[in-house]
Structure 1
Amino acid sequence: MTTSIKLTQSAIKGLPFVQPDDKKRQHLYFDTELKGFGVCVGAKAKTFFVQRDLQGKTVRTSIGRYGVYTVDQAREEARELLMKMGKGINPNKEEKPAASVTFGDALDLHLKSNKKRSERTLKDYRYLSDQYLSDWLKKPLTEVTRKDCRERHHKIGEKNGPYVANSVFRVFRAAYNHALKIHDELGVNPTIAVDWFPEERRKAAIPSADLTAWYKEVTAMTNPIRRDYLRFVLFTGLRRESAAVVRWEHIDWEKKALLIPRPKGGETRAFLLPLSDFLIDLLKERQKCEQAKTFFPGSPWVFPAESKSGHIAEPKEKLGVKFTVHGLRNTFITVAESLDISPYAIKMLVNHSLPDKQDVTAGYISPELDRLRAPMQEISDRLRLLCEGEKKTQKGQAVSRNAKPKK
């Protein structure tokens, strides 16, 4: 889709991002003042570009992202690029000298190099760079010193915490290393001077003794969409974003399975997650939800919300029992491990990569839906016992939440 408008700061700011249900993945807006200059709007970013025909073929080359460049800065660079293209020079085939390669250039190259990266990963890399290293994006890599890296890493760590500081400089290190593959004259990566903060794996699982109190508070929530979202994450073990973007079309009622079309983690291809009886009942309740029917009629999302995306993000619920949404996934994994379920089955249910490089057996295992159904049901039953305190079996006998799980 292409549109002609006068590109100004306010005009670009007002251009809407591409929505998930839009068949077009990007919209092009060409400037009415400078022919060939435009801005490409995608789902997450707005990028300036120039476009012109060279030797019978349309050539487009990026200038940089809106926010890093102003319209005037991008237009000035566009004029220079268009002049080159007018002389028959293709900017895409020109190799920049190492001295002119900026951190922003290196980051773009790094993010485009791996087509399998999820949108969430790309978004995280961009966010960390824009939020903490925005003043470096247009800075040549040759001007970033070891002292710069060391001091900025320490400053971020003091203000925003060690995990954030380490994450930011992992992004910078990766981008620099990618540029180094092309320009070996760049020299040693300056992050060599960074004293990385020690990190311990954060365990956020809700203790079994607190699950009943947590679940009681959740079921008492007045917002049924947010309530069911939290229960859904706990009983599926899904990552918070994977759970938030579930659509009704992803549910196979006949197979009692949920399609995860774009998972993050060890497997990049889509996979089917078996749904326990509890989850099937929960989803049927969602279909009958009056609030959703009233405020979000015809919504394709299982957990709709008044947001730009149309679906729920991460509810910041404050309950008596402290928890995080990601901690619910940890709780699912902890309960699964307590049942002595096969580690391979757990890894496949939560979409963790199998250690096929170290374990020959793992390389032959395929995540078949029926094979995973029994473990999923067992985990779900155990979670219900822990959450509800006591449950009646099919024979009418009471089962305590402290009952020893069957192996």
Structure 2
Amino acid sequence: MSIELTSLTAMVALLAIVAVLRPAMLFEYPVAASVLIWSFILPQAWRIEASGDLNDFEPTLAWGYMILCISCTAIGYWAGRVRTPTTSHNSLEQLSQRYDLNKLFYGAVALTIVGGSGVFLMYRMAATLKVGEAWTGPIAFYAFVAQLLIYGASLAWLLYLYTGDKKALIVSILGFCVNLPAVLFAARRELTFIIVVVFLLGLFFVKKKSVSRLILVPMVLAGGIFINNAGTIRSFIVNNDASLIGAIAANADQDTAAKEFSEVGSGVSDIAISQWTEQYDLLTPYYNGLINLYIPAFIVGPDFKKQLKVKRDDYEQSKYESFSRGGATHTGFADSFQSLHYFGCLIFLVIAYFMGILWSKARSGDIKSQLYYMMLISVCLKVFTESTSVFFSILPLMFLSMGGVFWYARQRKPSGQHVSTLAEMHRPLRDAHR
């Protein structure tokens, strides 16, 4: 292995081993990212160097940039945590002084219903699509709205942990059950990760309970197999009418050395070509990402939407034949480098800084930060495997939907003059929290 890849491997290993030594830190952003990189990114990088197939693209350029990005992630997260020290307040009484818990519950129900409607319409339209047909038009909009289902179910789960209210538990269970077919029969790795994270982080933030090592190690190993082989697993389920567990077990025995390095290979070639041509997109991918998500072509028309986008000038880059595989992402390392050259690492620093602030506030009992962190951690991990633009694209939806619920539920009377009915119904639980 090259010095650059050896250094990258050592850096990631040092961060990943923290999850084993201190399981409570598993879902802190740099640690979770290092576990993902170890399971998904590094195996592809090792195969690239072992095969030598991409030596023309100077992969050491990519390894050096990855080291810079991961360093910025760790530094940014630490700076965010230092800026926002964690306090010990995390009680039902504190929560009820800030928010009307009944209104928070109604907000969770509303998000779940709207998101569930999106899921229903998405599945109904998906049944009419032909095999291989692209998800464009209304179905893409329904998939976008369907994300609200997870937001509502997660908020309901937090409310149940704080209050013990069975209605909140029922809403949460129903919300997650709607998504189970996508987990069991479509092997959706992001959705699977979100459900696990919401359950475990909710317990950690509210009840201060973390995963034991006996559960953590097998969970991470199974997750690594699942992440690396989601496409193969999905095909196995469809072709053999199998379950998710059966597909994972069957796939675990396959030779991983024969697998491709689609995502990292695409990223390596993109970084090299950008370096050679010295052509950079600046903020174009981030602007176009917002247009893609929030301007539905089936309403405004595809021509108008196309006019809103900034066209990328790739004349110089088109002179080079890049490494690309259909359906594979190009990693966030690539799109950040294509945008800002080596300064693209600052994007990782900004994202990590924001997550560090959220983590400290979440540990201090801020339910809004707890919900934001649980919903953003999976998006922030996609920053490494897909693109950095996905993080900035999803923020408006999260702030408008969940932020709207918290704005609606905030206590408008001076603190101490009003306690919501839901909190009164669970006064013994509140006293137990003190």
- Alignment TM-score > 0.5, same fold: no
Structure in which a larger fraction of residues adopt helix: 2
Structure index of larger Rg: 1
| Structure with more contact order per residue of length (Cα contacts < 8 Å, sep ≥ 6) | 2
Q: TM-score range by the shorter chain?
A: under 0.3
Structure in which a larger fraction of residues adopt strand: 1
TM-score, normalised with respect to structure 1:
0.22
TM-score, normalised with respect to structure 2:
0.21
